[in-house]
Amino acid sequence: KVTGATVHFVNEIPDGGEILLQKAVEIAPDDTPETLQRRVMEQAEWQLLPLAAERICAEIVREKEQKND
């Protein structure tokens, strides 16, 4: 079994925004809610969020540079 994390844009539809990044995390048989939450944060969320921010900022900068040309 797996769970994971998704980074997506927000719109008027709950969980309906465009998906930017996703990562799956295995669920261990002996997981508790706390151990699973920690592993999802360490293996997915803490990796995906900075990467998504970098990609969004790079796109904004690229778009701004193109408009100034």
Quick: pLDDT tens for 3-39: 999 999 999 999 899 999 999 999 999 999 999 999 9
The count of structural domains within the chain is 1
Of the candidates 61, 31, 25, the one whose C-alpha atom is nearest the C-alpha of residue 45 is 25
Residue the block writes with tokens 């844009």: 9
With bands split at pLDDT 50, 70 and 90, how would you rate the model's confidence at 61? confident
Asked if 36 and 27 touch (Cβ cutoff 8 Å), the reply is yes
Domain encompassing residue 35: 2-68
